[in-house]
Chain A
Amino acid sequence: MSARVEDKLFLDRFNVDAESHLRLIDPRTCMEKCAEQPCLFICPANVYKLEKERISINYEGCLECGSCRVGCPHFNIEWRFPRGGYGVRHKFG
């Protein structure tokens, strides 16, 4: 299946803030204690990517569903809404 999430996110409008609204509380937890790393799969916008020695966060395409916050088995994601007016802006909804 060649579903490219980038193509889907390209359809959406975002007002991207300069600062991320998502943060790993302790990045080492992800690599040392988290075998499952569900954030790499459950995120509908593929915000979380496994790099060589860490997990990177591409918050720009976040659809603000909250799944990573409650899906992280170590509650290692500090999650807030983007500042007022920032983030995804639905055209149709």
Chain B
Amino acid sequence: MEEIFDAAIVGAGPAGLSAACILADRGVKVIVLERGEYPGAKNMFGGVVYGHSLGRIIPDFAQKNCPMERNIVESRISYLSEQSSISLTYRDQAFFEQLQNNAFTVGRAKFDRWFADQARAKGALLVCSTVVTDLLKDGAGRVVGVKTDRAEGDLRARVVLLADGVNSPLAAKTGFRPEVGPQHVALAVKELIGLPEEVIDERFGVSAGNGVTNEILGNVTMEMNGVAFVYTNRRSISVGIGANLADFAKARVRPYEMIERFKTHPAIAPLIKDGKPLEYLAHWLPEGGFETVPKLFGDGFLIAGDSAMLFNAPHREGSNLAMASGRMAAQTVLEALQRGDFSSYGLRGYGERMAESFVLKDLKKYRRFSSLLENHRELFTTLPRGAAEAFREILTVDESPKKERLRGARKALWRGAAPLRLLRLMWDAWRAIR
């Protein structure tokens, strides 16, 4: 290909497609390279997209038939031991009305294809079934394009946006981002369980396209630092579970056995009863936090989304960070095109935009979060049972005086974590989220 593009984007996910939409809208000659047969063929996440972030790219997404599964009206956080669950549930009428589509579930095979169609309608060129295998560089080491696995597949561009996701052999090869260490990613597996729409409605107490997300902690991750989730889609339920990859290696736990075990938990099994498994997927979450975010731009390139390790673990936000970073990368590219400067200096506006935005502010705020979980293993080992037994003590009704019951509850909790350890946990948790 002799043609020179203004911008080449690696990866048709939320980050790359957000950038493609904005650039194409402004008449920029942009190409998106996707290794899957179609956008979404390789993509997987928990399942939640945020309306505000998408609206900044496609303001009328709901009218444009965005393939939404369910509008999230209820969020649950649960803490599970083998036989029990403690949950906090928040449902608010606001999510049916003014905050409708604040968060909604999607399936990536449909959603990413739809998103790519929006970019194409604006004039972006999408080329699927194409792996970017290397970056083209000039004598001075500036990125001037990409190499692909197509015959004569070198492609020149004034600027390259790397939005190729968290698992990036391209990063490992070119070093634009350090290769991740197993301690910096969580490996998650997810199963789609098919059920009739009305059965899901009934089990989760919703109707008319509304749904529920449930984040789950406890010893379901078999003493590893991890998290599980249950999200409702229109006619399926996403059940997922993941843990730090280094923990998986140490614990010698098989991911598919862990999810199978999770599905039989007394709090989970009734939700998916009689469901038909439809698909089984695996993906990483970049949970290393702020410290693992690489330098976001250099001579001739920018990095966005999961590729830049943008993930807010305590709020389970990722797709919005991808879209926002893609948007800010595109805005920076527009400036650079105007000035004709694609050097690191010319692209510095991206770093500034990101630093001033919620994306890096949030990651910075929660920079201690991953070490909180790492340092407080009791959260995944003894505390789930201790907490459950404390509640059991309080709620068991017999004729023993409540003073004794409460003493029993306190002792049960302390079996989960000694008093000083609990204090330490509360202190560290406060520091991690303040």
Contact = CB atoms under 8 A, between A and B. Distances in A.
Interface of A: 1, 3, 5, 7-9, 11-12, 15, 36, 38, 41-46, 63-67, 69-71, 73, 79-85, 87-93
A93 B284 contact: no
Contact of B129 (A65, A84, A91): A84
Given A83-B131, A92-B109, A1 B260 contact: yes
Contacts of A82: 131
A88 B181 CA distance: 24
Given A70-B181, A90-B41, A91-B109, A12 B279 contact: yes
B273 interface: no
B42 interface: yes
Contact of B254 (A12, A41, A85, A92): A41
Interface stretch (B96-104, B183-191, B288-296): B183-191
B382 interface: no
Taking chain B's interface residues, is the majority helix, strand, or loop, or is none over half, making it mixed?
Answer: mixed
8 contacts: A12-B279, A41-B252, A42-B249, A67-B182, A67-B282, A81-B169, A93-B109, A93-B281
A19 to B, nearest CB: 12
Nearest to A75: B179
Contacts of A1: 257, 260-261
Name the residue in B179, B253, B254, B281 with the highest tally of chain A Cβ atoms < 10 Å from its Cβ.
B281
A72 to B, nearest CB: 9
Contacts of A64: 42, 167
Contacts of B283: 63, 65
Contacts of B182: 67, 70-71
B169 A69 contact: yes
Given A84-B150, A88-B42, A90-B43, A42 B245 contact: yes
Given A36-B249, A38-B252, A80 B185 contact: no
Given A44-B189, A89-B37, A66 B112 contact: no
B77 to A, nearest CB: 25
A44 B42 contact: no
Nearest to A63: B282
A46 B284 CA distance: 16
B65 to A, nearest CB: 18
Contacts of B51: none
A41 B257 CA distance: 10
A35 B230 CA distance: 36
